[in-house]
Structure formats: structure tokens, C-alpha cells
Structure 1
């Protein structure tokens, strides 16, 4: 059994496996079109002794916003296995190899969209991203209101304008992808739809929507608002379609307050578990993380366990300084005193990238340790909601 990156000439084998595993069919013309942009170096496969592809996954080099800071992140996608190779450890070997590759590449965080949460929890991933979906009939939409500035349709996408607004919005949350021009073209604007941008009185873009209307249903691909005026103006723009639509659906962060602002808040709302995350390299992640400032020398002891990334296993002293820099140093003191916070890599990820409070995880038995240490750890973590607009 061999694990290696795929070659460009193995594109057809990879696409055959993906179409089978994910139960979709691509036309011959689309297959040829995708061949031109195929990044074979991002695909890793398990091959048998005859050189036949058994399993594969895609490891995408990305950046993600965490606490308002850009982190190098490895996006795991398109994990697939032929039936005859299942339950032989192929995916397990690929995931371990991917973790090693990410560590060498300086990607201290990984994210993925799971086919089953329980499966990836075995490998140290944890639910970090939830999203809220609204489905509204037209008579439930917010009232149309006048605002300063105006909403203008954008017939041709201006990625520079869109990305400026997107970054301002995305960086408010932990988990959003840092988008490149290529990402915009290949992952966002490849969908059919129309764009409308809100500009303030100084003609500065503060929000946008990307939407599609079909069979009297408006599907909002992206809704981005960075100010109250942009929120009101964009919802008024949506409501102005009331003569041609019967329903609107869109995805928003779980802290979106629209129902409170409606005269009738009884709209359909769904909270959807979405993406999982995993800290790949705990020491690197902690050193990059923008902690809340602390008195120099403030620290806790931490015992960390990680079954699939053994470099994270160990006992540490986690300390902070006044500048908000953290350091995770190996220490035997935790073993000798028994006063350490004990947690696995999933729980640490949930705390630092998933917005879960250490006190909650202690109450539910996910972590253990002295109450004063857990309170101190919790006080050092700035509150920021996880959210992800993209899919990969």
C-alpha cells in the first residue's frame, strides 16, 4: 500500500471515484473543462500493490479567520473510497498522513465538512460551525424602509469591491475562509445569480447580496451586511421583489437578530450543524492565537491527549503576557502536581475555534481540572462567534 499525491494523468481515475462515492454525474464536456483547472497536487491517494487507486482525499491550502487573525489552514475535502477498499484503514492512513503534511506546511488548523460527525470525531475533529437558515414567505419580510445611501445592482462582478466588504464581515467571526481572486471565480461566482451592493452616502460599499430567483423562490447565496444601514437597505431590496416571489431563503450566522426586529417573528428558523475543525499543531496554534491580555506570568497547567497527532500529546504550561501572546511549553510539573486541566485535542479545538466555554466542557465532563485554572483559561479567550460562509 502506497500513499502519494496524484499525478495529472490520474484525473480520470479520481473523477470516477468521486462520482461514484458522492453519487453525481458530470457530463463529458464538464469533465474536460474541469481537467484544465485540476490541481492534482492537492489530491492524495492510497494505492494498492498493483498501483490502483483505492481511496483519496483533497488537502486544500487555505487561510481562515480566527479571532480576527489569519491562520494557515488545511481544508480536507472529497474523501472517497471504493467499496472493496472500505474498512481496511485506507481513510485512517490518509487522514494521519494529511495531519503530518499540514504540520510540516505550517497549517496549525484543519477544517472539513463531515459526511458523519461521529466518524471524524474519532480523528480529533469537532463541531465548530453552526449556521442558521431562514425560510420566509413574502408577507413575513421586514417592512421596506428608507435609508441613506443606496443599493445598486452589480451587472459584472467587481471582486475587489466584494472582497473588501466580505473581509470586513468575515473577520468578525472565527472560521471564515480568506478568499483569493481565484476562490471567488471558481467557488463563489460560478453559481448563477445576481449581485446587489449597498453603498453609503460616501459611496463606500458596506454590504451585498448574491441571489438567484427560480419558480418564484429567491435563494440568497450570500448575505453580507457590515452596518445597520446596509442591513435595512438590503432587506428592503429583497422585499422589493415581492411581486415576483413567494418565498425567500438564506443562511446567516447564529447570532443574527432579524426575528427580534420583525413584527411577527414566527418565521421558520433552522440551526444547522455545518463544519468541523481540528487543531493540527497545538503549540503553533497557541502561539499564533490572539489571547486576551493578561498579567505577565499568568498560566495554567494542561495535559493534552491526541490519538492521531502524537506530537500534541504531553503535559504543558500554558502562559500569557500583557500583549496577549500565549505560549505552550512542555512541563513535567503537571504530572508531578496533578493540578492540570486535562483535555483532548477535540475539546481544545472546541474551546479555541468553536466558541465553547471551558466551564461548559467541565460541567459536561469533556475536560477536568481545578476550577480556578479553568476560570483563568476562560478569561483569556476573547468571545467571537464561529461562522463559515463557504463550502469545500
Structure 2
């Protein structure tokens, strides 16, 4: 008998065994016991074949920001299948069940780190974020001066001390995680070694921080967070003052980061990497919560969405804009009731995610055949989507 369900507490050890095999790591008995104590079986979905755990995944409850608004998001992690059960469609069924569970919980978005982008695209997830990896030799570090009266203060590794600055920074991007106390202290800071230093401006306000480690003459920056240019320059001066201890600095930055332009010599290693994928779980709820670009366009938009793996998203939606276009009343039209073709836009659920998260633009998606509709409607949709950079500093 085949069955998909959440795991029971006594089955957590089986899940750990599968993860160790699939992701090729080993835990001691003590580490396994500690991990079991931290696991929530209600987050784990298993595919059981004749009573044996054959495949599993985890749905972690998160929140993320899109256009400054907070959205509930389900993070898919730990997807694994024993080799003897692979290529039997078990992961596809688990993903389908996960989508239903996330919808029931009000999680309108889902993120995951794909082992293969093409695999998860089949099920509606789409690339949504890149980052730039810098490797800066010590002699090329920025030559900035700190503002007079500012200071750097070393603090404990405590998320409560950092979260207000982090959150203000994160809200500027689409797709950053909200870090609650558990994520900060049990999952993020606990797993990384290093020092935290906060930038305090001349007015006594905390406007940035850096979390970094210097080891083997290399500085690895885990978080580099700043709320204004003054804070950025002050933090970089602080890092540069470690020059006698290191030969290089390594860090990630948003895809549109402009640090190289600010430096006296921008010729250093810069590598752009495609990172996570995103999916819209519940299109109607997501569109109703989404913050559009205020522009005074009162005419409705009609959007036909296709979604083979979440049938509740299939259909035609009418978006009636309010508040100068910043919000929309969303109506899913009855089947067979649709506007004239010249007023209708059409796309898949993964195309919609790439558009609304700001990763791709409507004109480009139209040119490559992934967004259908008249040119006028393509332009209107593009104008309705705020321009924000996607970014993610975390991993799960």
C-alpha cells in the first residue's frame, strides 16, 4: 500500500538516515539525537511504500517580503528518495501534496534550492534570484573614510540585537527571509563562526552591521548589511583595517550591487550565480496581497494563468486597480467567461512568479514567448510591476 502523510515522532530517525544517505554526510549518535529533538514532524511529508519511508520532503514555515509587504512562504527542503524507489514519481506526488498543504496554511509563495532547475520547473517553480560573489584582494579593498563621530561597536552574536537593521535592509528587496528569533539564534548564527560589528552613525543610530570571520588569512563575510551609503563606507573601512591579517575578502552581494564602481580598481573576481527558485502557491490570494506600482491606471487587467500541478490556480483573473493602481481587487472569472482576446494576457504560473517577484520584465517574457497578449497589455502589465531587486542571504 502506498501512502503520503506527515511523519510521526518515532519515524524521524528514518528521515535522518535518508538525508544522510542522499546528501552524503554523517552524524554521530549524539548529533542525531540532538537533531531529532529539534525536528517538527508536522513539517515532514513522507511517501510510504508498504509501510517503509521511500521518499520525503520538508515544508518549513517562513515569511518573506515582496514590494515591502510580508507574505507567508513555505520553504521546500530535504527532498530525498532512496535509490531503489527513484524515478517512480514519488517526489512529484509529494510536491503536489505539499502545494495543497501550503495553500491550506495560507502560504501563498514557496521557495526552494533546486538540485536541477529544469526538474522543479516542471512543477511550477521558477528561478527568482541571483547573487554576485566577490573575491577582493586586500590591496584592492575600498579606500573609504568613516563619517566623523561614527563608530564601530562589537556585539554578541544575538539576532535580537541585529534584527531591526536586518529587517529594514531586507524589506528593500524581494524574496529575503524574515528571520525570527529561532532562525537567527538556532539556525543562522549558531552555524557560523565569526565576529559581529555594528555601525553607529554620528547621531547614535545603528545603520548597519557586518558578520565576518578571518581565518587562514582570508576574511569571509556572512552578512554585510547597510541602510545608507554612510554606513556602507564605514563598514568597508572597518573591514579594510584588517589588511595586516588577511590577503583577501570573500562575500556575496545583490545582483545589481555597485561596489565595483565605487572602488579605485574594480578589476577583481566577480561571479554571478543563480540561486533559488520560487513558486506562487495560491495565485488569487497572492495577487490580492501584492503591491502594484501606483500609476493612475484604472482600467482592469485580465490574466489567464495555466498551472498543471495546482488546478485551483487555473483560470482567468480580473484585476481591478484601486488606490491609484497600487492595489487590486482580484476576481477569478467563471469558466467560459473571458474578455476579448485583445484584452487578455496569458502565462504559466512560473512565468508569473518571475514577473511579479521582479526577476524578469514583461517585455522580455513576451519576446521569448512566455507571456502572451497584445503589445498594449504587455506594456500595461510591465508598468504595474514595481522594479525591485531580488535577493536572498539565507539557505535552507
How does the TM-score come out when normalised to structure 2? 0.95
Question: Would you say the 8 A contact 2:342–2:374 is kept in 1?
Answer: no
- The structure-2 alpha-carbon separation of the partners of 1:53 and 1:340, relative to structure 1 and needing over 3 Å to count, comes to same
Please give the residue correspondences for 1:1-392 in structure 2 after superposition, counting only pairs within 5 Å. 1-49=2-50, 51-148=51-148, 149-154=150-155, 156-190=156-190, 191-295=192-296, 297-322=298-323, 324-331=326-333, 332-334=336-338, 337=341, 339-392=343-396
Cα distance in 2 for partners of 1:96, 1:237 equals 49
Unmatched tracts of structure 2, length 5 or more: none
Per-residue CA deviations over 1:156-212 (Å, capped at 9, x if unaligned) read: 224223000000100000000111001101221111111111011222211111111
- The structure-2 alpha-carbon separation of the partners of 1:151 and 1:273, relative to structure 1 and needing over 3 Å to count, comes to same
- Residue 338 of structure 1, CA deviation: 5.7
> SS where residue 243 of structure 1 aligns?
helix
Question: Would you say the 8 A contact 1:133–1:272 is kept in 2?
Answer: yes
Question: Would you say the 8 A contact 1:127–1:275 is kept in 2?
Answer: yes
Question: Would you say the 8 A contact 2:64–2:71 is kept in 1?
Answer: yes
Query: How many residue pairs end up in the alignment?
Result: 390
Cα distance in 2 for partners of 1:187, 1:209 equals 18
> SS where residue 179 of structure 1 aligns?
coil
Question: Would you say the 8 A contact 2:358–2:385 is kept in 1?
Answer: no
- The structure-2 alpha-carbon separation of the partners of 1:165 and 1:220, relative to structure 1 and needing over 3 Å to count, comes to same
> SS where residue 381 of structure 2 aligns?
helix
Cα distance in 2 for partners of 1:388, 1:337 equals 38
- Residue 339 of structure 1, CA deviation: 3.8
Cα distance in 1 for partners of 2:131, 2:297 equals 37
Cα distance in 2 for partners of 1:135, 1:182 equals 31
Cα distance in 2 for partners of 1:337, 1:235 equals 54
RMSD: 1.4
- Residue 28 of structure 1, CA deviation: 2.2
- Residue 294 of structure 1, CA deviation: 4.6
- Residue 6 of structure 1, CA deviation: 0.8
Per-residue CA deviations over 1:97-128 (Å, capped at 9, x if unaligned) read: 00001111111111101000000000010000
> SS where residue 265 of structure 1 aligns?
coil
Question: Would you say the 8 A contact 1:294–1:320 is kept in 2?
Answer: no
Question: Would you say the 8 A contact 1:44–1:57 is kept in 2?
Answer: yes
Cα distance in 2 for partners of 1:77, 1:354 equals 24
Question: Would you say the 8 A contact 1:210–1:223 is kept in 2?
Answer: yes
- The structure-2 alpha-carbon separation of the partners of 1:294 and 1:233, relative to structure 1 and needing over 3 Å to count, comes to closer
> SS where residue 275 of structure 2 aligns?
strand
Question: Would you say the 8 A contact 1:355–1:383 is kept in 2?
Answer: no
> SS where residue 245 of structure 2 aligns?
coil
Unmatched tracts of structure 1, length 5 or more: none
> SS where residue 224 of structure 2 aligns?
strand
- Residue 357 of structure 1, CA deviation: 1.1
- Residue 8 of structure 1, CA deviation: 1.3
Cα distance in 2 for partners of 1:226, 1:293 equals 24
> SS where residue 47 of structure 1 aligns?
strand
